[in-house]
Amino acid sequence: MVQEWLGTDDAAGRQQGTKLIRGEKILPVAGTEFWSPGRVRVDGIERDSIETGDLSLTSRRDGEEHAAVARGLVARSTWGTLSTISRHLHGSPFGNVVSFTDGIPGNYSGTPYFYLTPLDPSAADVAADPHASLAISAMPLGACGDSDPESPLCAKLTLSGELRQVLDAQELSFAEHALFTRHPEMTIWPKDHHFRVFKLVLASVFFINGFGGPRHITVEQYYSASPVNLSRSFLHEA
């Protein structure tokens, strides 16, 4: 792997093939790329770079690593923005802040579950068109530091697919237990509002965690991964 640092303030770092970042030697690891402030050319391809805060760490770029971080973000989050094709707005997109969970500690499924009433616009929307997406951010978790929520350094995830009511008895039991554990107030919501459990059946995963564009994660990679414990440095590293 031949690397040339571009636009750094370290003269040594601009020498082709150098493995120095601000004076600290980084040893090559198969299948990885190295990142420092500014831009970097790797095997002739110029890329954006990020500061991880721990210069001894390398940036693991494969979909499986990103999937593990995405799963961790879903596991730790308890709310997000659910977007549907609106009936009351005649087909315009409609974003709705909703609570969700994908499980409980030690048993996270990766599938977001929701507790919705037919009186909610989102539930009414998916009765006509089930297509929906859920957007979540690392900002509420305190994992973005001083970064702006829109900054690529603040991890963000959009899961898209179809919102379906959960009918299978075993899955419904799991989802209700998870929802009522993570959101205990739900247990006292009005019975006459006829709340039902829904899940997002995933079709695509859109994940941004640092410069360089979205991380490519397949649905299969997402579900195969185990959620990681998140920290600010790990979010930026992965």
> Do 81 and 41 fall into the same domain?
no
Residue 201 DSSP SS3: strand
pLDDT digits (tens, 9 = 90+) for 169-183: 999 999 999 999 999
Cα–Cα distance, 123 to 173 (Å, whole number): 20
Q: Residue range 158-167: average pLDDT? A: 98
Residues 48-69, mean pLDDT to the nearest whole number: 51
Residues 31 and 102 reside in one and the same domain? no
**pLDDT of amino acid 192:** 95
Domain for residue 56, yes or no? no
pLDDT tier for residue 96 given thresholds of 50, 70 and 90: very high
Q: Which residue has the higher pLDDT, 143 or 101?
A: 101
**CATH number assigned to the domain comprising residue 219:** 2.30.110.10
Residue with tokens 């001083």: 146
Range(s) of the domain holding residue 28: 3-48
CB 33 within 8 A of CB 61: yes
Statement to judge: residues 152 and 208 lie in one domain: yes
The tally of domains found in the chain comes to: 2
Higher-pLDDT residue of 7, 128: 128
